[in-house]
Amino acid sequence: MLNELTGLLRLLQDDLRMRVTEKPELLDGFQPRYEAMLRDKRTAAPLESWLEGEFTQIAVHWILACVFIRYCEDQALIEETYISGPNGKWRDGQEALTRYFRQFPAHSEREYLLHVFQAVSSLPALSELFHQRHNPLWSLGPSGDACRELLNTFQRTDENGQLVLRFDTLKTTRFLGDLYQDLSEYAKKQFALLQTPDFVESFILDHTLEPALASFGYQQTKLIDPTCGSGHFLIGGFQRLLREVRLHEPALNPIAQVQKALSGVFGVDINPFAVAIAHFRLIVEALRESGVRQLKAAPAFQINLARGDSLFHKELDGLGGDTLQMELLGEGKFDQYYESEDTPELRRILFQKYEAVVGNPPYITVKDANLNKAYRHKYRTCHMKYSMGVPFTERFFELARRGERGAPAGYMGVITTNSFMKREFGVKLIQEYLPKLQLNAIIDTSGAYIPGHGTPTVILFGQNQAPHSDQILVLQGIKGEPSTPDDPSQGLVWCDILHGYNQKQFAGEFISAGWNARSQFASHPWSLTGGGADEVQKTINDSAKMLLHDVSLSIGFGAILGEDDAFTARINSIKSSLIKPLVPGEVIRDWVLATCLSVIFPYDEQNDFKLVPLEHLPFPERFWKLRTYLFDRKDFSKKTYREIGRPYFEYHQIPTKRYRNPLSIAFAFVASHNHFVLDRGGKVFKQTAPVIKLPDSASLADHLALLGLLNSSSACFWMKQTCFNKGGGGAVWAERFEHDGSKLLKFPVPELKPLDLATRLDRLASELAQV
């Protein structure tokens, strides 16, 4: 199904672009919305990029609308056959189309599908799903030819006369989540689409919604997923709330029981088609649980879902959700932002508190400059180049009911990227925000096999109240899953996590669990490696009185070219002081650096590294040909080189002080192990190959002694505990670590260093490199 629909999506996207090119007036409704978003700093994207996202949303919604209708047809939720159906009913869909054309001979397949969407929207249970105000499909339609192909896709039969795309054998609606995640590569990157496996969702609900029900009771308990995606947490929460309603109110009629459970489940997502899928899935679940067989007999279930940005729409501290709040936030014009955003619902849902807050927020960084700035204004934890997991962690806590004056606090459970634990952008979250809250548990899930999650993750459980104990339950990883399990829910690491959490004190092969001092997790970075790793790390740290910070001048990049292709080439045959070897991080391995690229170095080493005139450079004509492109580069002020008068043939940034002393210790910024090498000068090091500079008084022996220490197994262990693990596909040996300078500056440097061994290894590596 996915392959069929992915190809169809590309066809519809191309068709929409063609339509607006031929008829520019079709964009009249889009321009005001885009201008309003620019004015109110909701986007900094150029119009073309913004429109591309709109076209993707529209195309996806046309496909999803057909999927929803086809599912209803095959599951006998509707009597009519509009598109197709099993057991020969595809002919009924073709006959319906023929009857429509007899009545409206001037219409195309586009008008027919719009007629179908209008017809199903009259059903109370589907009215909101096909609402003309919120569903993007109404804003622009594909051509008649493209809609014909859309219909043909769902009516196509194989050689046996059976439909290629069938929905009658599906027992659940989870397939829609797969469709949501993988249908559009653009949407997948834009919204960081990633489904939460059932076993992870169940575990998080066990330790958030269940204690909330025990604390607040089923009638008061409300659950929200602020990043609900296709609705996995919402459906799991609905089933648990329905269980409680049936247990306590067995005499209530089934429809009323279902609505009562639905009234306790809330969801928001920025992706309109994710919300559409979640809405449809909840309707199907509600029908099934209430015993209603057809949509025409179903009531208009109230579904608490809204399309919008959970991070952007929030209350400021000390302000309520009133008119003043809207004016101060610049949110008084919600209607102008997205046709698909549910303004009243966003306010209703996001401006209240919940007994349980759960979710799996996106792990990406914010690409849009204006949105990035808006989030920084609203969330105190946003720092440096933050992952969205950071402000979402703050948002999850905010949405939980505050525990004060003896009242119980709401529960929060999130699975998120663990990058904040080691990277610098996590400092404010760890050191300023989390210590003020009741963090109940920290669970290292980076070693567990969680399908679709290539990024290492962590699960946090907490409550929105001041800390009431001085300990946190911490589950630390010892080693990862040895192989991909047939059933991820029965993976060795995951099973150890379940045992460790339940037993509180646990030492397994893959996970260790225990109570740790809260103060231990009030400073950055966090280390969640079990099996005695913390004790070894402490021993290493305590063994030295000095840090690398104390013995070095600086750590950082050698140069940022700004446009690599303009400066680099395979020009090793030309001898010139203005041509130097270029060293990226991936060529630094095993005490050796081996680069085959050279770079034009437009600076005079004999004259305080001043810029060399263009005519004196090797190959000046290559820069002249690229001058317009190079002039358009922007510096840190966001102005072009031309605007600020910078020569177009200079590097974007070069710290010339790092070139005055030829001796440097360079290392691979990202690598599976610690790879450091001594360079004796004459090279240019990229950002991926930072350099450590020692004082000018440091001798060659000083450099070699430190080199031996940095390449040691003890240093390897220390760095793996301290630096961010970028993952590597599951195998421990393939895990890659980010060796950033701010972490390395804290590396302990003992008095005794392996100078003799380092000198020998450096010599042998140099000899080997000459072979």
Q: Which of 373, 308, 366, 303 minimizes the C-alpha distance to 334?
A: 308
Question: What is the spatial distance between Cα 366 and Cα 387, in angstroms, rounded to a whole number?
Answer: 7
Task: Tell me what pLDDT residue 184 has.
Answer: 66
Q: Which helix (H) or strand (E) holds 411?
A: strand 411-417
Q: Quick check: 303 and 261 in contact, CB under 8 A?
A: no
Task: Tell me what pLDDT residue 183 has.
Answer: 75
Q: Quick check: 684 and 731 in contact, CB under 8 A?
A: no
Which pLDDT band, with edges at 50, 70 and 90, does 337 fall under? very low
Task: Tell me what pLDDT residue 38 has.
Answer: 83
Backbone angles phi, psi at 723, to 5 degrees: -90, 160
Question: What is the spatial distance between Cα 8 and Cα 154, in angstroms, rounded to a whole number?
Answer: 11
Q: Quick check: 241 and 223 in contact, CB under 8 A?
A: yes
Q: Which of 62, 80, 58 minimizes the C-alpha distance to 149?
A: 62
Residue 331 pLDDT > 70: no
Backbone angles phi, psi at 183, to 5 degrees: -65, -45
Comparing 17-26, 632-641, 758-767, which segment has the lowest mean pLDDT? 632-641
For residue 620, cis peptide bond before it (omega within 30 degrees of 0): no
Question: What is the spatial distance between Cα 262 and Cα 279, in angstroms, rounded to a whole number?
Answer: 11
Which pLDDT band, with edges at 50, 70 and 90, does 482 fall under? confident
Say which residue, 406 or 718, is predicted with more confidence.
Answer: 718
- How distant is the alpha carbon of residue 667 from its chain centre? 28
Question: What is the spatial distance between Cα 6 and Cα 13, in angstroms, rounded to a whole number?
Answer: 11
Residue 766 pLDDT > 60: yes
Q: What is the pLDDT of residues 613-626, one digit of tens each?
A: 999 998 899 899 99
Mean of pLDDT values over 646-658: 93
Which pLDDT band, with edges at 50, 70 and 90, does 220 fall under? very high
Say which residue, 733 or 592, is predicted with more confidence.
Answer: 592
Beta strands in 151-280 (DSSP E): 223-225, 265-269
Question: What is the spatial distance between Cα 23 and Cα 19, in angstroms, rounded to a whole number?
Answer: 6
Q: Which helix (H) or strand (E) holds 31?
A: helix 30-39
- Alpha helix (H) residue ranges in 75-183: 90-103, 109-121, 144-155, 174-182
Mean of pLDDT values over 448-454: 82
Residue type, 407: A
Question: What is the spatial distance between Cα 399 and Cα 641, in angstroms, rounded to a whole number?
Answer: 45
Averaged pLDDT of the chain: 89
Task: Tell me what pLDDT residue 189 has.
Answer: 65
Q: What is the pLDDT of residues 240-287, one digit of tens each?
A: 999 999 999 999 999 999 999 999 999 999 888 788 889 989 999 999
Residue type, 601: F
Q: Quick check: 383 and 424 in contact, CB under 8 A?
A: yes
Question: What is the spatial distance between Cα 295 and Cα 437, in angstroms, rounded to a whole number?
Answer: 46
Task: Tell me what pLDDT residue 325 has.
Answer: 38
Task: Tell me what pLDDT residue 733 has.
Answer: 67
Q: Provide the phi-psi class of 161: left if phi over 0, else alpha when psi is between -120 and 50, else beta.
A: left
Mean pLDDT comparison of 265-279, 321-335, 337-351, highest-scoring range: 265-279
Beta strands in 207-250 (DSSP E): 223-225
**Mutual angle of helices 198-206 and 209-216, in 10-degree steps:** 30
Residue written as token pair 């929200």: 224
Tokens of 344: 């009243």
CA atoms within 13 A on the CB side of 262: 24
Say which residue, 549 or 179, is predicted with more confidence.
Answer: 549
Question: What is the spatial distance between Cα 95 and Cα 651, in angstroms, rounded to a whole number?
Answer: 67
Q: Quick check: 616 and 517 in contact, CB under 8 A?
A: no
Question: What is the spatial distance between Cα 285 and Cα 125, in angstroms, rounded to a whole number?
Answer: 12
Which pLDDT band, with edges at 50, 70 and 90, does 732 fall under? low
What is the DSSP annotation of 276-333? HHHHHHHHHHHHHHHT--SGGGS-----EEEES-TTTS-PPTT--SSHHHHHHHT-TT
Both ends of the chain: CA-CA distance in Å?
Answer: 55
Residue 470 pLDDT > 70: yes
Question: What is the spatial distance between Cα 632 and Cα 636, in angstroms, rounded to a whole number?
Answer: 13
Which pLDDT band, with edges at 50, 70 and 90, does 330 fall under? very low
Backbone angles phi, psi at 384, to 5 degrees: 55, -140
Tokens of 219: 């009638």
Question: What is the spatial distance between Cα 679 and Cα 264, in angstroms, rounded to a whole number?
Answer: 63
Tokens of 134: 């919120």
Domain ranges of the chain: 2-170, 174-208+218-360, 370-385+400-531, 554-770
Give the three-class secondary structure for 363: coil
Q: How buried is residue 272: exposed, middle or buried, by Cβ count under 10 Å (0-12/13-18/19+)?
A: buried
Mean of pLDDT values over 518-528: 93
Backbone angles phi, psi at 695, to 5 degrees: -55, 155
Tokens of 78: 């509707």
Task: Tell me what pLDDT residue 324 has.
Answer: 34
Residue 319 pLDDT > 70: no
The domain 370-385+400-531: what is its CATH number?
A: 3.40.50.150
Close Cβ partners of 758 (under 8 Å, ≥ 6 residues apart): 704, 705, 707, 708, 709, 711
- Alpha helix (H) residue ranges in 504-603: 533-542, 548-551, 564-567
Q: What is the pLDDT of residues 112-160, one digit of tens each?
A: 999 999 999 998 888 878 888 778 899 999 999 999 999 999 998 888 8
Close Cβ partners of 628 (under 8 Å, ≥ 6 residues apart): none
Question: What is the spatial distance between Cα 685 and Cα 580, in angstroms, rounded to a whole number?
Answer: 10
Task: Tell me what pLDDT residue 552 has.
Answer: 96
Q: Quick check: 47 and 53 in contact, CB under 8 A?
A: no
What's 731's DSSP letter?
-
Please give the torsion angle defined by the CA atoms of residues 318, 324, 329 and 333, in that order, rounded to the nearest 10 degrees.
150
Task: Tell me what pLDDT residue 570 has.
Answer: 66
Which pLDDT band, with edges at 50, 70 and 90, does 317 fall under? low
Q: Quick check: 330 and 373 in contact, CB under 8 A?
A: no
Residue type, 690: P
Residue 396 pLDDT > 70: yes
Q: Quick check: 287 and 262 in contact, CB under 8 A?
A: no
Task: Tell me what pLDDT residue 334 has.
Answer: 37
Angle ∠(552,555,559) on CA atoms, nearest 5: 140
Task: Tell me what pLDDT residue 535 has.
Answer: 86
Task: Return the bridge partners of 666, or none.
Answer: 677, 691
Give the three-class secondary structure for 746: coil
Residue 210 pLDDT > 60: yes
Question: What is the spatial distance between Cα 110 and Cα 118, in angstroms, rounded to a whole number?
Answer: 12
Comparing 36-45, 75-84, 86-95, 321-330, which segment has the lowest mean pLDDT? 321-330
Task: Tell me what pLDDT residue 433 has.
Answer: 98
Question: What is the spatial distance between Cα 558 and Cα 560, in angstroms, rounded to a whole number?
Answer: 7
